[in-house]
Amino acid sequence: RTITLGYRGHLSKQVKVPCGAPQGSYFGPKAYIVNHFDLPSIFDCPSEVHLHVDDLAILYS
């Protein structure tokens, strides 16, 4: 599997993803919850961190 990031019409190079669960898979949401459940606790304001079952975006300043 690979990942490509897009931002304002620009695309990054493809990068191989050696681990993780593919989006749309049966175990994907469960694996995500297990691996990322406590992620917001590392930030000063964890209530401002938003996680979604199949995606992750961190905006921190």
pLDDT in the model for residue 9: 92
pLDDT in the model for residue 48: 67
Residue ranges of domains in the chain: 21-61
pLDDT in the model for residue 13: 92
The string of pLDDT tens digits covering residues 6-59 is: 889 999 999 887 776 667 778 777 777 777 667 667 777 766 666 655 556 555
pTM of the model: 0.36
Q: Quote the strand ranges of 12-58, DSSP E.
A: 15-16, 50-52, 55-57
Give residue for tokens 């000063």: 44
